[in-house]
Structure 1
Amino acid sequence: MKPFFVLIKTNLGRAYEVATALADAEIASEIYSIAGDHDLIVKFYVEDDTDIGRFVNEKVHHIPGIQDTKTLITFKAF
């Protein structure tokens, strides 16, 4: 399994709604609200052969209330 993170910017006032939709979809390992340019940071785990771009496009981007995302690929855990 390989982990990666997605920073999510939501439409105003929709962060909790988006977080709930992600939790209900049972695709995220962890979901946190954050301060700054983005509203949420979400940790995902996928199989090693999974196309992360396709996963984000098909599983995350369709959730109502998401304005923008930034995917952070991880290399090694310490």
Structure 2
Amino acid sequence: MGVGLGVPFCIDCGTHRNPCRCRVVGPSLGFLALVVTAVVEWPVGALVYLFRHHKGRRIMGHPVTVVYPSVSNAIPI
């Protein structure tokens, strides 16, 4: 991950999904979606963790395991 002009961006090189073999838009939007969902889900997951440990861990892991890959893989460039 790098920072350019104050906007975070991610680069995924070595992929065979496009002719350039690098992706910037998908991983960058995936990272931004991860941050937005994490702001909501991590505090909720921490509260749930107090009563139900496994469920709280799943909620806190949701942005990383589901949101980022879904958004990142949906955009091939």
Higher strand share: 1
TM-score range, shorter chain: 0.3 to 0.5
Q: TM-score, normalised by structure 2?
A: 0.32
Q: TM-score, normalised by structure 1?
A: 0.32
Higher helix share: 2
- Larger RCO of the pair (alpha carbons < 8 Å, separation 6+): 1
